[in-house]
């Protein structure tokens, strides 16, 4: 009965009007024309706008992500290529080797080093300049058998690399020195053999005379320069930091390392070198045991073990001199024996 | 009559919403497919580049590996020798290779004597009467070997005299196949 009454009321002219009004109110966004200033947007339009905006937002978001990923990829590829190109810098009996790398874009090479066991890690991270803006990436390229000495951040398009073997007393590794063509190093007061070596390298950013005001002055036994080298005491002073070097047979490998790198990089890489020295000393110790079967009977094994222990206890470059004394003693004894180990 | 019209309009509206929803799902699905296709191509290219770089690394490393301190003869076999591998150091290195797993950034390193040829695998037990030294063998897919001829030297004893014995060998290096 009640339902019948309601239906009758709805179907009456007044009821019909009421129903129409209700429909107008509840129809989705179908605002009456009487409502001034309001837009008449159908559901379809609203839906299309929201969907379109979502699709556009997603397209822009994924587009920027893809560009970011491609930057990371390029950075990783270039970093890996640089690491691979360092392989030919491994020397056999040369005293030094040099090469250069040119990258099409302005590039910042970030050099990182860590010295965890067994050999530490050398990491390169590249940032490149695109549309006058540096695109910073998080992709690292690591290697365990390279020792790159440089500032923490080297910037430029062309990079010069030269390498020298580091013997302590046997060959431990090849040290690679990385500099940018934008940084010109001027060596003043250097001993003749160093001047000669630098000139022979033919590296365009190394000069030994006529220093310009923009060049980085590397002075030997002089003061008031950006980098001061105390050759006799085995010290390199820069920015209030003192880096100690100690080379056997005047190879100067660690001296160059101290000149071209930041203190943190230098200390870390030297620590890594000591980790490798420790392992190599153990290899030579075991080699001596094998050689005894072939009739060789000279014993420098215990000295090698103590060298390995010294290298294991290495803390910073100020301790290099103590290891050097030990290494020089072993070198003399190795040269004197019938079956030299290296 | 009004009620009927309202019902028809309502149904039409619902149908339109359904159409729109299906359309949106289809469009999203299409975009997702295109995205996956694009990512798959990108990933494939990236893997190819990574494998190519590994091959390059192996190629450049093989020509210089013999001169690295863990392998090189140095001056211990009568003067400076280039591309000369110390057999004794290799046998020692084989025993401590776990420390060198990632050191050279390659998957496999092998040295094979080619004259006189010997197919026996080297261990510290059968040294020096063997011909193949499997120094590093990571359990991964690897690229083809790149090789370089080297001399494999050791100290030997004959008639109570110690002499340097050098044999012809090939140093083989393979990178990791990232594909």
Cα gap A342→A178, rounded to integer Å? 29
In a domain, A299, yes or no: yes
**Chain A hits for B157, Cβ within 8 Å:** 293-295
For testing contact with chain B, the best of A81, A84, A281, A327 (most B CBs within 10 A): A84
Q: Which of A55, A84, A280 sits opposite B69 (nearest CB)?
A: A280
Nearest-CA distance from A109 to chain B in Å?
A: 19
Choose the most confident range, by mean pLDDT, from A110-114, B23-27, B42-46, B52-56. A110-114
Q: Which of residues 124 through 163 in chain B touch A, CB cutoff 8 A?
A: 127, 154-157, 160, 162
Final residue in a domain of this structure, among A239, A271, A303 = A271
Answer whether B173's CB lies under 8 Å from B146's CB: yes
The reply to whether A199 and A281 lie within a common domain is no
In a domain, A50, yes or no: no
The reply to whether A322 and A205 lie within a common domain is no
Cα gap A172→A248, rounded to integer Å? 12
- Tokens matching residue A134: 């540096």
pLDDT value at A195 more than 90: yes
pLDDT band at A1 (very low <50, low <70, confident <90, very high): very low
Task: Please give the residue range of the domain that contains residue B40.
Answer: 1-179
Q: Convert the pLDDT of each residue in A54-108 to its tens digit.
A: 889 988 998 888 888 888 888 788 888 888 888 887 776 677 888 999 998 999 9
The reply to whether A191 and A288 lie within a common domain is no
Answer whether A79's CB lies under 8 Å from A148's CB: no
The reply to whether A138 and A241 lie within a common domain is yes
Yes or no, beta carbons of A291 and B46 under 8 Å apart: no
The reply to whether A236 and A249 lie within a common domain is yes
The reply to whether A219 and A118 lie within a common domain is yes
Yes or no, beta carbons of A294 and B96 under 8 Å apart: no
pLDDT value at B70 more than 90: yes
The reply to whether A316 and A250 lie within a common domain is no
Task: Please give the residue range of the domain that contains residue A278.
Answer: 272-336
The reply to whether A330 and A262 lie within a common domain is no
Sequence-distant contacts of A321-328: CB under 8 A, at least 24 apart: A321/A234, A321/A244, A321/A246, A323/A168, A323/A246, A323/A274, A323/A277, A324/A168, A324/A246, A324/A247, A324/A248, A327/A168, A327/A169, A327/A248, A328/A169, A328/A248
Nearest-CA distance from B32 to chain A in Å?
A: 11
Yes or no, beta carbons of B35 and A62 under 8 Å apart: yes
Yes or no, beta carbons of A291 and B88 under 8 Å apart: yes
Please state the ipTM of this predicted complex: 0.83
pLDDT value at A5 more than 60: no
Q: Convert the pLDDT of each residue in A109-137 to its tens digit.
A: 999 999 998 999 999 999 999 888 898 87
The reply to whether A92 and A150 lie within a common domain is yes
**Run of H or E including B171:** strand B161-174
In a domain, A156, yes or no: yes
For chain A, the domain total comes to: 2
Yes or no, beta carbons of A283 and B96 under 8 Å apart: yes
For B44-53, letters b (16+ CB in 10 Å) and e give: eebeeebbeb
For chain B, the domain total comes to: 1
pLDDT value at B179 more than 90: no
Q: Convert the pLDDT of each residue in B117-175 to its tens digit.
A: 889 999 999 999 999 999 999 999 999 999 999 999 999 988 888 899 999 999 999 99
Answer whether B152's CB lies under 8 Å from B110's CB: no
**Run of H or E including B24:** helix B2-64
pLDDT (average), residues A240-244: 93
């Amino acid at each position: 009965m009640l339902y019948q009454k309601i239906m009758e009321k709805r179907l009456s002219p007044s009821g019909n009007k009421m129903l129409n009004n209700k429909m107008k109110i509840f129809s989705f966004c179908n605002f009456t024309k009487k409502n001034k200033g309001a837009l008449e947007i159908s559901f379809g339009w609203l839906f299309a706008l929201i969907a379109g905006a979502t699709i556009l937002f997603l397209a822009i978001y994924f587009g920027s992500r893809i560009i970011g990923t491609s930057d990371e990829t390029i950075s990783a590829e270039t970093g890996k290529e640089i690491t691979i190109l360092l392989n030919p810098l491994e020397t056999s009996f040369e005293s030094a080797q040099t090469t250069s790398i040119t990258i099409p874009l302005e590039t910042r090479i970030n050099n990182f080093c860590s010295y965890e066991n067994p050999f530490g890690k050398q990491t390169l991270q590249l940032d490149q300049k695109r549309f006058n803006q540096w695109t910073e990436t998080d992709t690292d390229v690591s290697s365990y058998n390279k020792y790159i000495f440089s500032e923490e951040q080297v910037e430029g398009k062309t990079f010069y690399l030269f390498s020298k073997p580091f013997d302590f007393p046997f060959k431990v590794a090849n040290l690679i020195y990385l500099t940018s063509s934008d940084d010109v190093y001027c060596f003043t007061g250097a001993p003749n053999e160093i001047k000669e070596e630098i000139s022979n390298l033919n590296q365009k950013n190394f000069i030994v005379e006529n220093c310009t005001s923009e060049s980085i002055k590397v002075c030997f036994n002089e003061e008031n320069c950006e980098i001061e080298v105390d050759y006799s005491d085995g010290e390199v002073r820069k920015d209030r930091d003192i880096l100690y070097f100690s080379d056997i047979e005047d190879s100067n490998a660690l001296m160059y390392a101290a000149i071209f790198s930041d203190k943190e990089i230098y200390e870390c890489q030297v620590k890594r070198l000591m980790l490798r020295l420790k392992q190599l000393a153990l290899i030579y110790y075991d080699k001596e045991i094998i050689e005894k079967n072939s009739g060789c009977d000279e014993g420098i094994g215990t000295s090698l073990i103590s060298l390995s222990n010294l290298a294991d206890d290495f803390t910073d470059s100020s301790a290099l001199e103590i290891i050097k004394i030990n290494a020089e003693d072993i070198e003399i004894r190795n040269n004197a024996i019938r079956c030299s180990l290296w | 009559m009004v009620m009927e019209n309202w019902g028809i309009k309502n149904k039409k509206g619902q149908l339109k919403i359904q159409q729109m929803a299906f359309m949106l799902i289809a469009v999203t699905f299409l975009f997702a497919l295109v995205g996956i296709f694009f990512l798959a191509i990108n990933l494939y290219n990236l893997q190819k580049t990574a494998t190519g770089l590994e091959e390059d690394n192996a190629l450049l490393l093989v020509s210089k590996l013999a001169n690295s301190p863990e392998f090189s003869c140095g001056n211990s076999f009568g003067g400076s020798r280039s591309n000369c591998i110390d057999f004794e150091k290799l046998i020692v290195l084989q025993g401590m290779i776990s420390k060198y797993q990632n050191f050279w950034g390659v998957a496999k390193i092998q040295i094979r004597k080619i004259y006189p040829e010997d197919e026996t695998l080297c261990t510290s037990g059968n040294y020096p009467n063997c011909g193949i030294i499997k120094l590093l063998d990571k359990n991964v897919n690897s690229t083809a070997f790149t090789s370089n001829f080297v001399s494999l030297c050791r100290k030997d004893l004959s008639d109570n005299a110690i002499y340097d014995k050098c044999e012809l060998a090939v140093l083989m290096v393979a990178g990791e196949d990232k594909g």
